[in-house]
């Protein structure tokens, strides 16, 4: 049995992916005769459980209703957290949690202590149901009233896209994703709102629920996530809109209001949700590079977003700022950051950069696709974003398997690595003498 909570989390996600793969390989899951191939099923299950959204087949046309429901269940499990869901079942069935379950769930949900795990789980459940239900109602009304879908179809599409949005997955029931709704705020804004809320992280949402009128009492984590989210959303909207404004294949053909809406929507998607209302394959390479940075940063910790998290890069920013100013301690919002946090942030970012660069180089060696598109695809998979320039299905099997690995590591990496680093710290009984190498 896994001894470390990080091992239990990885095993839980791996088991869920394997089970999802087997379900999607059933003939009942696929349109037409026969079942899906192993690679198609594995890729889709990994993308769903890791709430990414990348796809090698058309979700709307390839999978039956049973297959789509299975994908939706995997998305919900992946967004909620495998260990969290298992522990929640334990709470419901036995009304209590064992120590092992508390440790594993605390590692996944970033709970401050083992004693509050049960309340955190129930709070996550209530928050998830409330947001998904509200967005599902809004979308269902729009699909039914605005587009003439039947009552059942409107409800199904509303529920599917609501769950996919809140969990930052990006799966859609339309072959062109959401490009047909590029100028419809009644579709784009509820989905964007669900993505932003899910991307803030449950710790931030809980704190806002308790102390939304007392910003001076907010924790450093909440302040960093809220300020970072606002800055990145605004910067992303301005950047994407400015670069693509006159591109006739993206924003150029839209009205001014639709351009602003589409620019904002694509910026929200870089929070790690794979919906798109524009054709990303027709964007300027400069836009791809800017979105690479936004996707790599990602959303808030302990939520449904991916990436290396806003707080990780905020820590690096304040370390840089302190060094430039000649300070001796890194202070953020009137509090001092522990040196262990410095090391964790630097370690996570450097390992992630090494993995992304190595994977991109590997794809360059086995394909003839350009570097900019491959880098975009690699970061999208690792950051569990799901945005694509349209090359996913054309990659060779080895390339698709590499993306499967990146999605798995990206979904688990920041969580498991951070918890492993925190729990592996041990006191040293001695210290070596200091010596300074030359820097720069």
Residue 384: per-residue pLDDT: 92
pLDDT confidence bin for 310, thresholds 50/70/90: very high
The SS3 call for residue 314 is helix
The predicted pLDDT at position 117 comes to 63
Q: CA 387, CA 397: separation in Å to the nearest integer?
A: 19
Mean pLDDT of 15-28: 96
3-state secondary structure (DSSP) of residue 136? helix
CB count in 10 Å sphere of residue 118? 20
User: Are 168 and 384 in contact, with CB atoms under 8 Å apart?
Assistant: yes
**Greatest Cα-to-Cα distance within the chain, rounded to the nearest angstrom:** 75
Per-residue pLDDT, 207: 84
Model confidence at 112: pLDDT above 80: no
Task: Give the per-residue SS3 of 285-308.
Answer: HHHHHHHHHHHHHCCCCCCCCCCC
The span from the CA of 410 to the CA of 304, in Å, is 12
Bridge partner residues of 335 (DSSP)? 332
| Those residues with Cβ within 8 angstroms of residue 77's Cβ, 6 or more apart along the chain or in another chain | 16, 49, 85
Report the residue count for the chain.
440
**pLDDT by residue (tens digit) across 328-371?**
889 988 889 888 888 888 988 998 999 999 999 999 999 999 99
Q: Are 66 and 100 in contact (CB under 8 A)?
A: no
The mean pLDDT of 44-48, rounded to a whole number, is 96
Q: Is the pLDDT of residue 284 over 70?
A: yes
Q: Which residue has the tokens 């994703």?
A: 177
* Mean pLDDT of the 265-289 span: 94
Compare 259 and 113 and report the one with higher pLDDT: 259
Backbone angles phi, psi at 327, to 5 degrees: -75, 165
Contact yes or no for 160/173 (Cβ under 8 A): yes
Q: What is the pLDDT of residue 93?
A: 45
- pLDDT tens, residue by residue, 135-193: 999 999 999 999 999 999 999 999 999 999 999 999 999 999 999 999 999 999 999 99
Would you say residue 89 has pLDDT above 60?
no
What residues have CB less than 8 Å from 128, skipping those under 6 apart? Answer: 79, 80, 166
pLDDT band per the 50, 70, 90 thresholds, residue 49 = very high
Instruction: Identify the band that residue 6 occupies on the pLDDT scale cut at 50, 70 and 90.
Output: low
CA atoms within 13 A on the CB side of 143: 25
Phi, psi of 201 (to 5 degrees): 95, 140
Question: How many H helices and E strands in the chain?
Answer: 18, 2
DSSP assigned state of 161: H
Supply the DSSP string of 203-253, one letter for each residue: HHHHHHHHHTT-GGG--HHHHHHHHHHHHHHHHHHHHHHHHHTT-TTTTTT
What sections of 63-184 are H helices per DSSP? 65-80, 82-94, 99-109, 117-141, 147, 151-166
pLDDT beyond 50 at 239: yes
User: Poorest-confidence range of 28-32, 71-75, 162-166, 199-203?
Assistant: 199-203
Q: Which of 45-59, 116-130, 401-415 has the highest mean pLDDT?
A: 45-59
Nearest to 316 by CA among 291, 296, 302: 296
Q: Which percentage of the chain shows pLDDT scores above 70? A: 86
Using CA atoms, how far residue 108 sits from 61, 120, 358, in Å, is: 35, 11, 27
d(CA 51, CA 170): 8
């Amino acid at each position: 049995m896994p001894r470390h909570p990080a091992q239990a989390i990885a095993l839980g996600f791996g088991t869920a992916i394997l089970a999802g793969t087997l379900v999607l390989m059933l003939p009942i899951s696929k349109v037409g005769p026969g079942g899906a191939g192993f690679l198609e099923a594995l890729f889709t299950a990994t993308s769903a459980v890791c709430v990414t959204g990348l796809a090698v087949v058309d979700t709307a046309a390839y999978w039956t209703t049973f297959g789509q429901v299975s994908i939706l269940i995997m998305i919900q499990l992946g967004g909620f957290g495998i260990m969290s869901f298992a522990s929640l079942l334990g709470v419901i069935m036995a009304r209590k949690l064992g120590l092992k379950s508390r440790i594993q769930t605390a590692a996944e949900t970033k709970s401050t202590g083992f004693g509050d795990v049960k309340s955190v789980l129930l709070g996550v459940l209530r928050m998830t149901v409330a947001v998904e239900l509200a967005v599902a109602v809004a979308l269902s009304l729009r699909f039914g009233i605005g587009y003439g879908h039947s009552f059942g179809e409107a409800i199904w599409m509303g529920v599917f896209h609501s769950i996919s949005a809140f969990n930052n997955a990006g799966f859609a029931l339309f072959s062109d994703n959401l490009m047909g709704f590029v100028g419809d705020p009644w579709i784009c804004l509820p989905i964007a709102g669900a993505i932003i809320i899910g991307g803030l992280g449950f710790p931030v949402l809980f704190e806002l629920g308790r102390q939304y009128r007392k910003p001076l009492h907010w924790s450093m984590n909440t302040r960093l996530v809220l300020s970072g989210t606002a800055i990145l959303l605004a910067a992303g909207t301005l950047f994407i809109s400015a670069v693509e404004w006159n591109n006739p294949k993206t924003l150029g053909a839209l009205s001014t209001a639709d351009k602003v809406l589409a620019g904002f929507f694509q910026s929200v998607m870089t929070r790690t949700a794979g919906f798109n209302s524009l054709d990303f394959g027709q964007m300027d390479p400069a836009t791809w590079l800017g979105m690479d940075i936004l996707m790599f940063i990602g959303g808030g910790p302990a939520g449904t977003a991916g990436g290396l998290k806003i707080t990780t890069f905020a820590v690096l920013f304040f370390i840089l700022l302190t060094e430039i100013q000649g300070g001796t301690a890194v202070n953020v919002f009137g509090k001092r950051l522990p040196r262990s946090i410095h090391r964790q942030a630097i370690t996570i970012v450097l390992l992630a950069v090494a993995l992304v660069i190595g994977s991109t180089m590997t794809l360059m060696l086995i394909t003839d696709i350009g570097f900019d598109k491959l880098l975009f695809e690699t970061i999208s998979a690792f950051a569990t974003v799901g945005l694509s320039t349209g090359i996913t299905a054309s990659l060779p099997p080895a390339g698709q398997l590499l993306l499967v690995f990146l999605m798995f590591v990206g979904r688990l990496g920041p969580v498991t690595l951070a918890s492993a680093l925190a729990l592996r710290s041990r006191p040293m009984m001695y210290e070596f003498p200091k010596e300074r190498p030359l820097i720069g």
